[in-house]
Structure 1
Amino acid sequence: MSAHLSAIDLLKLGDEDRKKPFLNQYWPYIIGVPFGIGTGVMINFGTRRPVFSGIQKHVVGVAGWCALLNYVQNKRDAYFAEKDAVYRHYIELHPEDFPTPERKKLADVFEPWVPIR
């Protein structure tokens, strides 16, 4: 992959070029399991029963939380995909607004350092 990409090249990178974070695909389950178990525990605590009695409440809670968070993740992915498509379309229509940035050396970016004693 080139070190210097234009704006449209950055948006056209395919899935094989982008590395997704590990937790990005598992966060609904990592959060859904404790929340689902906690929901069953809180229901039992509120009704003055032993906290882990009625295991079906815990199973339904885990399934419900995981399904809800999975739905949220899918909506979030669709939102960002649409947002990227709008950006890509705008950049394709107006390439003059997005010139390829010129290369700079690090020495040109930093100001000279003057020690103050």
Structure 2
Amino acid sequence: MAASTRVGEQEIERRESYIRAGHRERHIIDPFTWSYPVKGAGAMFGISLASLYLQNRWNKKPYYYAIVPRLLLIGAASAIGYAAGALRERHYQTRDAVIEHYIQLHPEDFDHFNDRNGRSFSQVLLPWYPRRTQYTKYD
């Protein structure tokens, strides 16, 4: 491989840390940078707000019809969405911890991941043997 295609270890670590969830800089406008609990609460808030608006339109009621109980329902739905997002985030953290612990216990199984560059595609990809009908032998 050419030396210009090789990337340094620091750049690889920077890219890997940027891709992982929770490591990017948070922006209010970009929901892809929000944490899972905030995404869940925002999604449930939007869905419940839209459903209540559509229910009012269907029943030909004004937007302020039964507003206090409906605001309580929106708050409860947002809390459920926040809890679901927190549960999802906990699940992913536990999964990552289990995988990293397994890698620490069995490093010999993961040596091939350490050589990030320097191998040709023939060493990385498995060979492919086409099996076509015109090549079959009939006895």
Q: TM-score range by the shorter chain?
A: 0.5 to 0.7
Partner AA of 2:115 in structure 1: P
Distance verdict in 2 for CA 1:51–1:101, change over 3 Å: farther
* Largest Rg, 1 or 2: 2
Runs of 5+ unmatched residues, structure 1: 111-117
Equivalent position SS for 1:2: helix
Q: State the TM-score, normalizing by the size of structure 2.
A: 0.54
Distance 2:12 2:56 in 1: 58
Partner AA of 1:98 in structure 2: F
Partner AA of 2:79 in structure 1: A
Q: State the TM-score, normalizing by the size of structure 1.
A: 0.62
Distance 1:97 1:77 in 2: 28
Partner AA of 1:37 in structure 2: L
The equivalent of 2:99 in structure 1 is 87
The equivalent of 2:80 in structure 1 is 68
Which of 3, 19, 26 is the equivalent residue of 2:24? 19
Partner AA of 2:61 in structure 1: P
Question: Are 1:50 and 2:61 matched, yes or no?
Answer: yes
Distance verdict in 2 for CA 1:38–1:76, change over 3 Å: same
2:41, 2:80 within 8 Å by CA — same for their partners in 1?
Answer: no
Partner AA of 1:78 in structure 2: R
1:97 Cα shift? Answer: 0.9
Equivalent position SS for 1:104: coil
Counting aligned pairs with the same residue, the percent is 16
1:41, 1:51 within 8 Å by CA — same for their partners in 2?
Answer: no
1:45 Cα shift? Answer: 6.1
Distance 1:27 1:109 in 2: 39
Runs of 5+ unmatched residues, structure 2: 1-8, 123-139
